[in-house]
Amino acid sequence: MPTQKNTKDETRPRGTGIVFPVLAVVLVAAGAWLWSTRRTEPGLSGAGPQVRSTLHLETFVLNLADPGQRSYLRVGVDLGLGREMGKGENAPPVAEVRDTILGVLAQARVDELLTAEGKAKLKEDLLHALQERLPGLAVEEVYFTEFLIQR
């Protein structure tokens, strides 16, 4: 009698048991990569204007507007600009920028600046003052690079 071969093993091609899980992993990885790159592309996040360059300013040190106590603020500020600063272009009006920022900072009170909401409001006030006084500079963001209050 001839020996009977196992037909189950012959009909199924080798390696198909691992192809589907590997394909699934590759598809999930490709989807995750596509999702992460779409979130980081400028203009797709919907978070507002795009910052194209930054303007670094020297540190500000000033007295705060608090009657009855002496309070000092040391704050570093960088500005996010909505336009590129070209090499052949005139330098930004740093004196006007600093004057505008000092005008807003001098009105701040210690109790307000100690909270996260107070710092966020200060950023908004600085942004609005700069946009109003220097619209050609195209300030889109205000970044605090250091923030120290001494009472």
- Does residue 47 belong to any structural domain of this protein? no
Which pTM does this prediction carry? 0.65
- Does residue 99 belong to any structural domain of this protein? yes
pLDDT score for 89 = 65
pLDDT tens, residue by residue, 18-68 = 777 777 777 777 777 666 666 544 544 455 568 888 899 999 999 887 777
pLDDT score for 123 = 95
Q: Are 101 and 75 in contact (CB under 8 A)?
A: no
Q: Could you give the number of structural domains in the chain?
A: 2
- Does residue 142 belong to any structural domain of this protein? yes
Looking up tokens 């090499």 gives 87
List Cβ neighbours of 150 (8 Å cut-off, separation of 6 or more). Answer: 71, 72, 73, 74
Range of the domain at 74: 53-150
Q: Tell me how far CA of residue 58 lies from CA of 91, 92, 116, in angstroms.
A: 15, 14, 23
Max avg pLDDT among 47-56, 73-82, 89-98: 73-82
- Identify whether residues 19 and 83 lie together within a single domain: no
pLDDT score for 48 = 59
Q: Are 94 and 108 in contact (CB under 8 A)?
A: no
What is the identity of the amino acid at 140?
A: E
